[in-house]
Structure 1
Amino acid sequence: MRQLQVHIDNNSGFCFGVIYAIQMAEDILEEQGYLYCLGDIVHNDEEVERLQHKGLRIINYDTLATLRDESVLIRAHGEPPSTYQMAMENNLRLIDASCPVVLKLQNRIKTSFDKKEQIFIYGKHGHAEVLGLLGQTSGEAVVFENLEELLRHELPENITLYSQTTKSTDSFYRIKGELEGRGYAVNANDTICRQVSNRDKELRNFALRFDKIIFVSGTKSSNGRVLYQVCKDTNPNTFFVSKVEELQPDWFTAGESVGICGATSTPMWLMEEVRNALSAF
């Protein structure tokens, strides 16, 4: 026995948007035994699998187009206008669990688009939230993942800058500063969720307290990758796992302190499983 001292970060786990979506799904599953969900309800395979056992049916846009007279959950990431149009045409009842922070961002982007502003969105190509944001501009906004990619575009003198809600605040303002330093006028809209961005500082403080850090996250989570890197930069002895089976006993020596933390899409029950497994090493 290695007798590890194991602690879970109380600030980790689902953000309020994910909690709202999952609670809504569970309530309906309890009532009717099944529910369609457009895309993974959360970017965590373990949580998705748990809900599928309760009757959640994950579908894509092709399947959505074939459904009639059914209920479909819209997850926290939000959807473009085309999804709502399809739902009307197919007599689908949309159970909208879009995160309020995302909905506010969609509305702001739509307002900018209606004003004919040239919109650039700092975000991940193909991400569900970003697709919903692009939909507010009829696909005309430019999405970029880093400054290098942005500078490959022919940029206008006046740039309206937005961000996916889960991106790094520091990176967003670095991009803004670099553009202004190159002479561009930047209308920067900081639309990053503070419940996410505040975790940067919280995680740095948490990661410094332990010999080793286990960061628990789904491999599809953009937020997870960002926060894992925060931990890794702060404490090089940080390990990424998506499930308990990925833990390796040889990562640890006897008596070490181990901190467990995770993304906004990581369920607390999964971090507790990781804690129990480490305690048994």
Structure 2
Amino acid sequence: MNVTIDQNSGYCFGVEFAIQMAEDELEEVSELYCLGDIVHNSMEVQRLYNKGLRIIDRAQLQELHDCKVLIRAHGEPPETYQTALKNNLELIDASCPVVLKLQNRVKHAYDSTKAIDGQVVIYGQQGHAEVIGLAGQTGNDAIVITTEEDLDQLDYTRPITLFSQTTKSTKGFYKMKELIEQRVAAAKAAGAEVEELDANDSICRQVSNREPQLEKFAQQHDVVVFVSGKKSSNGKALYAVCQRVNPNSYFVENAAELDRSWFDGVTSVGICGATSTPMWLMQEVADAIQASQPAEV
């Protein structure tokens, strides 16, 4: 049985940058606070905890004074920076540049459309760290949509500017765009004077480009093992890609969740993961499969 790790899987540059900043800082100090999980992968969070990285939530942030706090790649809303000023916190800002650029675009759109009673709409996961940061640019006036049912929140007689969480599915974004356009057209047909939808594909290309790459990889193997944290939005989207092209795809957080029966009679196994999955963890999964049955890498 041949076991192959997808070399296109693993950290995106934003996550890699944030983890590197945390590790560099932990070489100088014994303990460092991080606002929220630095990455949606419990194994990596535990590894960094052992080095001194302490995860805190927003309520705990309010109680901290005179210390350092790492901002992870997902970015933060303006009130986090206000709290830092008030509590004399030194922020180590590892916000992903792609996310920061999108935050600026969302704020500009919100400021520009307020005069015409416009709506800023974000296609994303309600409560996701990145979405909290994006919505914060609008004073939390943005409308977050995840499913078709959420479209009922929009007023189709008013201007709509649509953005996407950077790690959402490209296919999902364009489906939402199409549905909104249909409702805008219906409002126009009913006599409303409204502008065309202003849709902005703000999905990170490091994420979206992985979909076609992953399709090819999943098709090349009898069985695919997708390694990701269960909290990872990107992981869920990319695992769906694997399942679509290869029904023999399985989702695991770590090697302990492997089922040996998946590999009976199999000649080729592909190991892949999310942009929040460390390469060392995929290697552990590959090693566990090799240990259970004779294999070549």
CA distances 1:149-182 after superposition (whole Å, capped 9, x unpaired): 2135433342100100001112211221222233
2:70 counterpart of 1:69: no
Supply the distance in 2 between the matched residues of 1:223 and 1:239 (Cα, whole angstroms).
Answer: 16
Q: Supply the AA of the counterpart residue of 1:258.
A: V
Hey, what does 2:126 align to over in structure 1?
125
RMSD: 1.1
Gaps of 5+ in 2: 186-195, 293-297
Hey, what does 1:169 align to over in structure 2?
170
Q: Paired residues, what number? A: 278
Supply the distance in 2 between the matched residues of 1:208 and 1:273 (Cα, whole angstroms).
Answer: 23
Q: TM-score, normalised by structure 1?
A: 0.97
Deviation at 1:204, TM superposition (A): 0.4
When structure 1 is superposed on structure 2, of 106-115 and 176-185 the one drifting more is: 176-185
Hey, what does 2:142 align to over in structure 1?
141
Contact 2:218/2:245 (CA < 8 Å) preserved in 1? Answer: yes
Q: Secondary structure at the match of 1:182?
A: helix
Hey, what does 1:21 align to over in structure 2?
18
Gaps of 5+ in 1: none
* 1:268 aligns with one of 279, 290, 296: 279
Q: Secondary structure at the match of 2:261?
A: helix
Hey, what does 1:212 align to over in structure 2?
223
Contact 2:223/2:266 (CA < 8 Å) preserved in 1? Answer: no
Supply the distance in 2 between the matched residues of 1:141 and 1:28 (Cα, whole angstroms).
Answer: 35
Q: Matches of residues 150-229 of structure 1 in structure 2 within 5 Å?
A: 150-184=151-185, 185-229=196-240
Supply the distance in 1 between the matched residues of 2:157 and 2:16 (Cα, whole angstroms).
Answer: 40
Q: Secondary structure at the match of 1:13?
A: coil
Q: Secondary structure at the match of 2:25?
A: helix
2:287 counterpart of 1:251: no
Q: Supply the AA of the counterpart residue of 1:150.
A: L
* 1:45 aligns with one of 27, 42, 51: 42
Q: TM-score, normalised by structure 2?
A: 0.91
2:85 counterpart of 1:81: no
* 2:33 aligns with one of 26, 31, 36: 36
CA distances 1:77-133 after superposition (whole Å, capped 9, x unpaired): 000000000000000000000000000000000001111131010000000000001
Supply the distance in 2 between the matched residues of 1:168 and 1:45 (Cα, whole angstroms).
Answer: 23
Judging changes above 3 Å, is the alpha-carbon distance between structure 1 residues 172 and 255 closer, same or farther for their aligned structure 2 residues? closer
Supply the distance in 1 between the matched residues of 2:221 and 2:163 (Cα, whole angstroms).
Answer: 36
Q: Supply the AA of the counterpart residue of 1:63.
A: Q
Hey, what does 2:288 align to over in structure 1?
277
CA distances 1:190-236 after superposition (whole Å, capped 9, x unpaired): 11000000111000000000000000000000000000010001100
Q: Supply the AA of the counterpart residue of 1:164.
A: Q
Deviation at 1:31, TM superposition (A): 1.1
Supply the distance in 1 between the matched residues of 2:162 and 2:212 (Cα, whole angstroms).
Answer: 24
When structure 1 is superposed on structure 2, of 108-117 and 263-272 the one drifting more is: 108-117
2:99 counterpart of 1:102: yes
Q: Supply the AA of the counterpart residue of 1:97.
A: A
Supply the distance in 2 between the matched residues of 1:109 and 1:176 (Cα, whole angstroms).
Answer: 17
